[in-house]
Structure 1
Amino acid sequence: MDKENQFTSSAINPALSIPQLRSAFDGRVIGPEDADYGQARTVFMGGFDLRPAVIIRAANADDVARTISLAQETGLELAVRSGGHSAAGHSSSDGGIVLDLRDMKALDIDVAGRTAWAEAGLTAGEYTVATGAHGLATGFGDTGSVGIGGITLGGGVGYLVRKHGLTIDSLLAAEVVTAEGKLLHVDEEKHPDLFWAIRGGGGNFGVVTRFKFRLHVVDTIVGGMLLLPATPEVIAGFIAEAEAAPEEFSAIVNVMPAPPMPFVSAEYHGQLVVMALMAYAGDAEAGERAIAPLRSLATPIVDMVRRMRYPELYPPEEEGYHPTAVSRTMFIDTVDRSVAQTILEHLRSSTAAMRVAQLRVLGGAMARVPAEATAFAHRDSRIMVNVAAFYGPHDRVEQEAWVRGFAAALRQGDGGVYVNFLGNEGVERVRAAYPGSTWERLVAVKRRYDPANLFRLNQNIPPEG
């Protein structure tokens, strides 16, 4: 390492001398007195007003190791940030150290070999645009500003989930800095236990600085937004058609009030609609045939589905957007007319200006991976649901109660949850993300690589189980 990777009580005082830290790191060190501290401490989700003691914008893996050493020596809480989208606020810390990876954006694309080494500070949108220039892609989620670090470590459910599986199903290798400050190359042969754990187990085991992904040929797709009136028949019919569609088709179905977007007629603003975002990653004519039954469910309010380049699914996002919302995630087995009616009744009963029931049909390539192959164990789950309500300054408690009631009304036989959509919901909900023997295996890996639970600001898997 280029600089001394030691931080002892004699070298760094308890108040964290920012000038001393700046001399020890290659990347930026931002303290509370710096002009851009307010911006640097801000995360994507609103409602988190945390003030870290220091923010370290790592320039490389050596900086990551130095930050881990600093946290070990000072005993301060360590938050690791890729894109800053944690619904539980784990992307920052009150009084601790924030290790911000956003400046680590190197991307090495092997077009002929269809692989890419990507640093963890890249966003899904940045990665997708760069690989899309070659007609290639790795599946991430539905939001371009999400960091590839967080979404990958939790699983990754997006527009290619049925065709190419989860993000982790395209992960070939990774470089991980452990709690001891060691940089490990992990894959199926080297440290296979750690490689298994980081594919779904979150940031519990170290800081991933680089990912090696498989790239798939995904050039022109048939996709975009389809807005339909929200009736029980349309909702149930849409899910049925999505389940019956070829694996090339994946959709994210939002039942919600129509937002006042310029391309939505004013008469529909605030009315419940089915806003479907979809992609058919295959032959264009076959894609048009697969989407035709969806268009015929009702007269579309908006039809923006067309042939496009895959990166166009990640449009520019609004600057300064920091939503305040409460949510609940789960898996269910079916959406029939009765379930659709329940969805509509609960959405109508809410006082929130914006509320949503989001449905994602799974299966396909994701379901063909054995449950024990990765730490994401929900391979047989059929439909993922996320219900959410946005809250204002005075109604958070009310909206939390509504979300809990809505989720309870939708609950079926599948007790699992998707870890990337969890908020601060308690130990039992974290356990639900890792059912059966998955939890015990993760605890064993945690005990081996992070026995003191340094990496605890996450959906935590404690080393003592």
Structure 2
Amino acid sequence: MNPSATTTVTERLRDRVTGRVITPGDADYETLRTTHYGAPDARPAVIVRAASTSDVVVAVAAARESGLELAVRSGGHSAAGHSTTERGILLDLGDMKDLEIDVENRTATARPGLTAGEYNTAAGRHGLATGFGDTGSVGVAGITLGGGVGLLTRRYGLTIDSLLGVEIVTADGGVLEADAEHDPDLFWAVRGGGGNFGVVTRLTFRLHPVDEVVGGMLVLPAAAEVIEGFARLVAAAPDELTAIANLMPCPPLPFVPAEVHGRPVLMAQLVHTGPVDEAEEALAPFRALAEPYADLVRPMRYPEIFQEEDMGPMPEIVSRGGFVREFGAEGAALLADAVATPGSPRIAQLRVLGGAVARIDTDATAFVHRDVPMMLMLVAFCDGPEDRARQEAWLEEASVLLDRATYVNFLGRAGAEEVRSAYPGRTWDRLAEVKRRYDPQNLFRLNHNVTPA
């Protein structure tokens, strides 16, 4: 689009948007255009910092009528770079943070700009929680639409299993309420199908009674036998225990001895939602895997798990993630060697599923991988183009552990075949039909895209 036409779009947005409209040259443009992972280094033509659903309707109309690419940002954690656009419209939902909690009915209605940490801090004041990921800074909308695998997963299921309904702005500018009774096909699709079908502007969640838990970080040496034992223990643990393990060179953490910094470690986040005595019994075998470098697991309020991080731009990453059906000594040795290799850091993250996840019918949501026992995310930080090639070669080698199916929230830059592997069989066909009905021109395409049938 030529500059004068872009200027016209910007002027129309300034006239109609009640929130902020930011363009190159404005004081906070450089800050707002950046993403968490630092790539791509894109420069949107205009950033709409929406204040309301009506602002979202205006921004969607501007993209539809102008042909400018539309990027939608909640928390900005898209590893694929979908949280920004080159010379398009960036619709930033970060100012939409309203939250209403109905303690009696155990429900919460949230705007998409909230982070997981903000949401659970507010809900935690009432001894309640919804499960989102393991990172306080992630946006509630983005993680939910892809599925949501976090620290309450084995007890209460995926985030989408607690989603009761959404308000969504569709490509034609309509504002729909989708739930089990209203537009149920659309409600099915947004539970795992990502941002393909519109901009979600409000989410209603079920809240669970989660007050004091036994949780925190356990840091162990990342020896192959420790990694294998950890995965085996989580799979056999009661549903009350969920654990996520990061295998990585140890950062300079103040609670870890200095001589351990830089060594390969298994940093596990553990959460047990049952009584303290049952938690201690369930956690004892983990502590016995090896002498811990640090043991911060203790009784705590659940929101303490979600400490807000300094989310400044990070180096470029390459990543690959998916499901693991079998994991034993060979896989553990491969991961142990990977995180011990000198050079730019590599991280392997293990999330054991099962429990409540597996008790939901496969066809109930667009996330259909309910029978798979484990997920694995492989991440490498890149120091320039040559290092990127090296790290991508490692990803290809390590991907021997992964099943063909993938988890859409773990996909980085992916081709059509990889995206389709997140939605196998008839799930893809059903999503494509919903896409045809609600976004036939594929306006919402800056995502892991499902093309209209």
Confirm or deny a common fold (TM above 0.5).
Answer: yes
Deviations 1:257-293 (A, max 9, x none): 1112122112212211111111111212111111011
Any conservation in 2 of the 1:352–1:399 contact (CA below 8 Å)?
Answer: no
Matched letter for residue 326 of structure 1: V
Any conservation in 2 of the 1:150–1:202 contact (CA below 8 Å)?
Answer: yes
Determine if the alignment matches structure 1 residue 301 to structure 2 residue 290: no
Deviation at 1:13, TM superposition (A): 3.9
Aligned to 1:54: 46
Matched letter for residue 367 of structure 2: F
Deviations 1:324-379 (A, max 9, x none): 2211102112322222112223333x343321111111000011111110000100
Any conservation in 2 of the 1:352–1:390 contact (CA below 8 Å)?
Answer: no
Determine if the alignment matches structure 1 residue 199 to structure 2 residue 191: yes
The number of aligned residues is 450
Aligned to 2:374: 383
Q: Distance in 2 between matches of 1:323 and 1:125?
A: 23
Deviations 1:194-231 (A, max 9, x none): 00000000000011100000000000011111011122
Determine if the alignment matches structure 1 residue 429 to structure 2 residue 418: yes
Q: Distance in 2 between matches of 1:61 and 1:323?
A: 33
Aligned to 1:363: 354
Q: Distance in 2 between matches of 1:297 and 1:321?
A: 35
Aligned to 1:189: 181
Q: Distance in 1 between matches of 2:333 and 2:255?
A: 27
Tell me, what secondary structure is at the counterpart of 2:167? strand
Deviation at 1:296, TM superposition (A): 0.8
Any conservation in 1 of the 2:13–2:58 contact (CA below 8 Å)?
Answer: no
- The TM-score with structure 2 as length reference comes to 0.97
Any conservation in 1 of the 2:214–2:279 contact (CA below 8 Å)?
Answer: yes
Deviation at 1:234, TM superposition (A): 1.1
Any conservation in 1 of the 2:9–2:66 contact (CA below 8 Å)?
Answer: no
5+ residue gaps, structure 2:
none
Aligned to 2:345: 354
Aligned to 1:441: 430
Deviation at 1:143, TM superposition (A): 0.9
Determine if the alignment matches structure 1 residue 259 to structure 2 residue 251: yes
| Distance change >3 Å, CA 234–CA 14, structure 1 → 2 | closer
Any conservation in 2 of the 1:363–1:382 contact (CA below 8 Å)?
Answer: yes
Q: After superposition, where does 1:34-183 map in structure 2 within 5 Å?
A: 34-183=26-175
Tell me, what secondary structure is at the counterpart of 1:277? strand
Deviation at 1:23, TM superposition (A): 1.9
Q: After superposition, where does 1:243-322 map in structure 2 within 5 Å?
A: 243-322=235-314
| Identity, % of aligned positions | 57
Deviation at 1:316, TM superposition (A): 2.5
Determine if the alignment matches structure 1 residue 242 to structure 2 residue 234: yes
Q: Distance in 1 between matches of 2:222 and 2:388?
A: 26
Deviations 1:33-86 (A, max 9, x none): 211110111111112210011000111111111111111111100011111111
Tell me, what secondary structure is at the counterpart of 1:16? helix
Any conservation in 2 of the 1:83–1:146 contact (CA below 8 Å)?
Answer: yes
Deviation at 1:89, TM superposition (A): 0.5
Tell me, what secondary structure is at the counterpart of 1:448? helix
Which one is further off, 334-343 or 89-98? 334-343
Deviations 1:226-258 (A, max 9, x none): 011122221111111111111010111112211
Deviation at 1:188, TM superposition (A): 0.5
| Distance change >3 Å, CA 356–CA 13, structure 1 → 2 | closer
Q: Distance in 2 between matches of 1:235 and 1:152?
A: 29
- 400, 406, 417: which is aligned to 1:417? 406
Any conservation in 1 of the 2:348–2:378 contact (CA below 8 Å)?
Answer: yes
Aligned to 1:3: none
Which one is further off, 386-395 or 108-117? 386-395
Any conservation in 2 of the 1:352–1:391 contact (CA below 8 Å)?
Answer: no
Matched letter for residue 337 of structure 2: E
Q: Distance in 2 between matches of 1:199 and 1:432?
A: 16
- 449, 460, 463: which is aligned to 2:452? 463
Deviation at 1:321, TM superposition (A): 4.3
Any conservation in 1 of the 2:13–2:59 contact (CA below 8 Å)?
Answer: no
5+ residue gaps, structure 1:
1-8
- 383, 390, 404: which is aligned to 1:392? 383
Tell me, what secondary structure is at the counterpart of 2:118? helix
Q: CA RMSD in A?
A: 1.4
Aligned to 2:439: 450
Q: Distance in 2 between matches of 1:191 and 1:19?
A: 35
Tell me, what secondary structure is at the counterpart of 1:15? helix
Aligned to 1:217: 209
Determine if the alignment matches structure 1 residue 374 to structure 2 residue 362: no
Any conservation in 1 of the 2:339–2:345 contact (CA below 8 Å)?
Answer: no
Any conservation in 1 of the 2:252–2:258 contact (CA below 8 Å)?
Answer: yes
| Distance change >3 Å, CA 337–CA 319, structure 1 → 2 | closer
Q: Distance in 2 between matches of 1:351 and 1:289?
A: 37
Which one is further off, 14-23 or 218-227? 14-23
